Structures are given as structure tokens and as C-alpha cells.
Amino acid sequence: MPDDPTDTTTPPNPVVTLPDGGRALLRPLTPADKPRVREAFRRLSRQSRYHRFFTPLEVLDGKLLDRLTSADGIDHVVWAALDPDHPDDPGMGASSFWRSRTDPSEAEFSITVADEHQGRGVGTLLLATLWLQARRLGIERFRLIALTENFPVIHWMESLGATIVCDDGATCDMILDLRDEARDRIPMTPEGDSLLAWLSHPFGPS
């Protein structure tokens, strides 16, 4: 893990060990990942699709797929967690944020973890990754919108101290404070330290 600030070599993408001993490789998504994202979506359960997109979407394609895979690294950042031990697997999860056009210190955050990988800490790693990148880019808050029935994500955000307002009966609006003192609330495995070190490299994440 390079510590020298004059070292401009881009470090390799981090591979992090999950609490259950599995491994996750973290890297930004690019337009070349469209087939992978389409396939990962196809394998998602109806419930996970509904929780992420709020509609019973059957196929992820067209403009929505373009939007999800066309990050600029500044106002729109998208990272995936991949299984380095099963390269043909389309992915363990992906997460993104879009900076608000009206308030550049806020970004809308979304995340999806493949059903078979949920509850293994993949979501936590993706959130930590995007959290640290958002802070570097001057973003202080993530906004998440979730269906009121989506207990896992609401419970998760509650445990991280998010402000949660559910007043339209259908969705909850959650604001997660990303300022430094809140950072410590992300539960990390010891191996997460290597991810943090990687992310703090000045030429690390793009």
C-alpha cells in the first residue's frame, strides 16, 4: 500500500476480505461493464429490483443502463464489488452517488447487493468506499430514498445515525451526515483498514 504522496502510480484495485472470509474486489464501473450490469440485474430477485427502482422492472437496458454505467468520477461516481474468485460472476453489488444540481454538498446515494451476497458486509464496504470518495469531492451528505417497506436499508441507515422522514406513506427520505466525525460509525472489518489506506492514496480511486 503506497504511503508516499509523490508516488503517482495508480495502486491496484483493492481486494477486501469480508467478515465471513469471502473476498470482494472493489473498482469503478465503466461503460464496458454494461453486459455485466444487465446480467447482474437479470439475476436479482423481484423484491431487490423493486426495492432499488420502486417499479417491477424486468430488464435493465437503454438509457437507464447508460446512466448507471457512465460515471464522471466527480458528480457521478459508481463502484462495483466483484468476486475475484469467480470472474464470470456478474458482480456482488454496486453503488453510486449523484451530486445534487441545486446543492453541491449533497448527493443521492443508491446501492444494490446481489441477493446471494446480502448480509455479508458487501453493502458496508461499498458505502465506506463511496463515503470516503464523496468527502474528498466536497460532499457532506448522502440522501437516500427507500420504500417504507424496505426495512433492511431503513434499519441500516438508522444504525448509522441518519435523519429519516417517512411522511408520504410510500417512501422514506434519509439523510446521512458524512462529516468526519460520522465516518467512525461505519462498521469495518480489520481488513477494511487496507481499503481505507488504499482510498486515502492521493492517486487511488478515480
Ligand X SMILES: CC(C)(COP(=O)(O)OP(=O)(O)OC[C@H]1O[C@@H](n2cnc3c(N)ncnc32)[C@H](O)[C@@H]1OP(=O)(O)O)[C@@H](O)C(=O)NCCC(=O)NCCS
Q: Give the residues lining the site for ligand X (CB under 6 A).
A: 48, 51-52, 110-113, 118-124, 144, 146, 150-153, 155-156, 159, 187
Nearest distance in Å: CB 9, ligand X:
30
Sheet holding 106-113, edge to edge: 15-17, 23-28, 76-82, 93-99, 106-113, 141-147, 171-177, 163-165
Least distance to ligand X from the beta carbon of 92, Å? 8
Helices and strands per DSSP (H, E), number in the chain: 7, 8
Buried b (16+ CB within 10 A) or exposed e, 45-78: eeebbbbbeeeeeeebeeeebeebbebeeeebbb
Judged by beta carbon, residue 120 or residue 201, the one nearer ligand X is 120
Q: For 16-45, what is the HEC assignment?
A: EECCCCCEEEEEECCHHHHHHHHHHHHHCC
* Cβ distance to ligand X smaller for residue 148 or 159: 159
CB of 140 vs ligand X, minimal distance in Å: 19
Closer residue to ligand X (CB): 78 or 201: 78
The least distance separating ligand X from the CB of residue 87, rounded to whole angstroms, comes to 20
List the grid coordinates of 181.
Answer: 466525525
Beta bridge partners of 107: 99, 142
Name the residue nearer to ligand X (CB basis): 151 or 203.
Answer: 151
Taking the least distance from each CB to ligand X, the nearer of 69 and 110 is 110
Comparing every residue's Cβ against ligand X, the nearest one is 123
129: buried, middle or exposed (CB in 10 Å: 19+, 13-18, 0-12)?
buried
How near is the Cβ of 10 to ligand X at its closest, in Å?
Answer: 27
